[in-house]
Chain A
């Protein structure tokens, strides 16, 4: 599903963010990407949804060569990938439902189908009762779940999360993980970047460890 071949990424002249990274993630896998801050986790994720281009190396996502993609082909790639950010990136002046609706409209989902989908996803993340509230009025854990629901609006083949539990206490973090496992159980490939070692140990999933921009450990390869 996601394949990286000898990927290098350099910022500017001498900031080496990723060095010779090769990685193969199969369809339906649940993979943790760990390492301390600055190890290159976020850079790796951004390369996969083509927010960045690698300095060298090749990246294949769902059979597409991300590096060779033309500008106008990028939206099609991004529609296959859902991304959840540490800071959620919710629109604070819209309601929870509207935050999801923005995506439906951008993808041209017919109105009736969009409403059904929003209802379904909000029920899944347990936030149907918050549908008409703005993100200001709900807790951090709830905001995170809105972000997850939004990332699932386009039925992604791959769901990537960057520190999805970084701002949450242990209990809420467990909730979010349970949610992601459910999504994974329905076939979505999940790549989760975190520096929370406890979390990773508890889950006993494939874990890829980055250090200084290199993969130093991969228990599933």
Chain B
């Protein structure tokens, strides 16, 4: 296709888009809404996935020690723990260090510490777990075995959380597919309807083009392109809204209590995912117009 031809087709498509008015706006809006909802689900999944792998990297089992444990018992326990295949590293935190950390975390809220009296915090070993051992059943067995060791008060591990977030991510993925399919289909039909109106509006011109021997492709191209542009525009608009919403949320969370800051380090979609969403919008729009042109444009 020569460049001038490309420009003329693009000009036609843009002209149609402009003449389309409210109908075109509805089509763009439909694509925007579906892309936006998809984008939100996707963004949630991406961020939860990120948190999940973050947690997996630093996944810890905390072994709290009884206050009456002797230094020998503690040393024995440490060696015992280091010998475990699942354990990547062992770190000891004494009662004093635990208190210091606690105070640091609660900086500015010193009043909470006032009634504390004697240090109530236990000493503990923090175990970093090798990733290949971070499976639900395996961890539960491991933790149970640790609880039986001498000098151990309690064993905590965050695997329930990891499992739950993992489940949430899969639910989000599934929801994304279901919602995406439904909204996508709706958007395709709205675009198809807009293009149908555009075809009717230009019926005279199409008739003349057919009579003078314009090819089918020449007659159809502007309509297909119009649908593609509607889709692209809708997806771009959705991304803009998504990004604005994301930045707003990060800003709001930045002001929120420290505990929520774990989410504040969130991330936006990767460039490739952004491109994917744009392409998806364009494809939806193109499909809509193709559907309409095939049905209503018997050229």
Residues of A that sit less than 8 Å from B by CB: 49, 51, 71-72, 74-80, 82-83, 89, 91, 102-103, 105-108, 110-111, 150, 153-154
* Tally of A-B Cβ pairs under 8 angstroms: 52
- Closest 6 pairs between A and B when the two form their complex, measured CB to CB: A78-B213, A106-B214, A79-B213, A75-B213, A103-B212, A75-B215
Q: Are A89 and B208 closer than 8 Å at their CB atoms? A: yes
Give Cα A71–Cα B213 distance, bound, in whole angstroms.
12
Q: Are A106 and B209 closer than 8 Å at their CB atoms? A: yes
Q: Are A78 and B210 closer than 8 Å at their CB atoms? A: yes
Q: Which residues of B contact A105 (CB under 8 A)?
A: 8
Q: Which residues of A contact B215 (CB under 8 A)?
A: 72, 75
Residues of B that sit less than 8 Å from A by CB: 2, 4-5, 8, 204-205, 207-216, 218-219
Q: What residue in chain B is nearest A92 (Cβ atoms)?
A: B204
Secondary structure class of chain B's binding surface, majority of residues:
helix
Give Cα A107–Cα B204 distance, bound, in whole angstroms.
17
Q: Are A153 and B204 closer than 8 Å at their CB atoms? A: no
Give Cα A60–Cα B69 distance, bound, in whole angstroms.
107
Known: A79-B212, A102-B208, A107-B214. 17 other contacts (CB 8 A): A76-B213, A82-B212, A83-B211, A89-B204, A89-B208, A91-B205, A102-B209, A103-B212, A106-B212, A106-B213, A106-B219, A107-B213, A108-B5, A110-B4, A111-B4, A153-B212, A154-B212
Give Cα A218–Cα B4 distance, bound, in whole angstroms.
49
Give Cα A83–Cα B207 distance, bound, in whole angstroms.
12
Q: What residue in chain A is nearest B215 (Cβ atoms)?
A: A75
Among candidates A74, A77, A91, A108, residue contacting B208 with C-beta atoms closer than 8 Å: A91
Give Cα A71–Cα B5 distance, bound, in whole angstroms.
23
Give Cα A146–Cα B100 distance, bound, in whole angstroms.
93
Task: From B211, B218, B219, name the one whose CB has the most chain A CB atoms within 10 angstroms.
Answer: B211
